[in-house]
Amino acid sequence: MDWGMQHRLANIIPPNSGRAVMLAVDHGYFLGPTSGLEEPGKTVAPLLPYADSLMLTRGVLRQCVDPASRIPVVLRVSGGTSILTELSNEDITVSIEDAVRLNVSALALSIFVGTENERRTLANLAKLVDLGEHYGIPVLAVTAVGKDMARDARYLSLCCRIAAELGARIVKTYYCEGFEEVVGGCPVPLVIAGGKKIEERAALQLAHDAVSRGAVGVDMGRNIFQSSNPVGMIRAVRQVVHENRTPDEAFRFLTGLRGAAA
């Protein structure tokens, strides 16, 4: 692996812990102004010191993130659909030249296995991997799940393995029952999405269960920026992911911050 590729992967998964807290704020690319991200710049700025990397689109990156910020960027480069239509009908939406200009640490693209656009999104992934490898930029594949599809270990193992076989350097998926099977079948590092907003204690449990069963970390969005205390929440997630704190310890830290603020 060349130096640039290794360097960028180390930006995403810091070698001191071998774990990653990625902050996902790319939701607007198909959801529009998601709750908590109406003004992405204001949401993101206080969270940056606690994130290892930031996953977002180029539009939000250019307009809302200080270029002097040292945050490694995972650029969402698939899209072209909205919540109102068929989500799987994605294309690659950013040229590799623009990604290089934006100095990104990784490129992120969704695959939709088992949908009518399976072949197209997998071909998009293979094409993006060729471009990324040429410039030393890792590709993170997101195993997107259609509205009616089961997020079980059998299905997610299939998606993650296909993504890795096509050359993704990191795979983002969902936590599920039997997650060890998903990890065991995937030869590249896995991170999990947080999913819809749930209670903070439950989200910390989710992060803990994922890393204790082999994920290298989280690429979490709504459970951080929709929290009543986003900075406290990302700090608590860091404790679980990087410091192996239990969900109870991290939750006590979070509620302690609330108590101090009150």
Q: Which stretch binds ligand 5RP (CB under 6 A): 22-30, 98-106, 119-127, 151-159?
A: 22-30
73 in contact with ligand 5RP (CB under 6 A): no
Compute CA 258 distance to the chain's CA centroid, rounded to the nearest angstrom: 27
193 in contact with ligand 5RP (CB under 6 A): yes
Q: Which stretch binds ligand 5RP (CB under 6 A): 19-27, 153-161, 229-237, 243-251?
A: 19-27
28 in contact with ligand 5RP (CB under 6 A): no
Considering only 20, 21, 23, 24, the residue that binds ligand 5RP (CB under 6 A) is 24
220 in contact with ligand 5RP (CB under 6 A): yes
- Shortest approach of ligand 5RP to residue 221 CB, angstroms? 3
Q: What is the DSSP string of the chain?
A: --HHHHHHHHHHS-TTTT-EEEEE--THHHHSS-TT-SSHHHHHGGGGGG-SEEEE-HHHHHHHS-TT----EEEE-EE---TTS-TT--EE-S-HHHHHHTT-SEEEEEE-TTSTTHHHHHHHHHHHHHHHHHHT--EEEEE---TT----HHHHHHHHHHHHHTT-SEEEE---TTHHHHHHT-SS-EEEE--S---HHHHHHHHHHHHHTT--EEEE-HHHHTSSSHHHHHHHHHHHHHH---HHHHHHHHHHHHHHH-
Nearest to 27 by CA among 57, 71, 62, 58: 57
Q: Which of 42, 127, 147, 172 is catalytic?
A: 172
Whichever of 134 and 147 has its CB closer to ligand 5RP, that residue is 147
142 in contact with ligand 5RP (CB under 6 A): yes
109 in contact with ligand 5RP (CB under 6 A): no
Residue 172 appears among annotated catalytic residues: yes
- Shortest approach of ligand 5RP to residue 60 CB, angstroms? 12
Considering only 144, 159, 186, 207, the residue that binds ligand 5RP (CB under 6 A) is 144
90 in contact with ligand 5RP (CB under 6 A): no
222 in contact with ligand 5RP (CB under 6 A): yes
Binding site for ligand 5RP (CB under 6 A): 24, 26-27, 55, 110, 142, 144, 193-195, 220-223
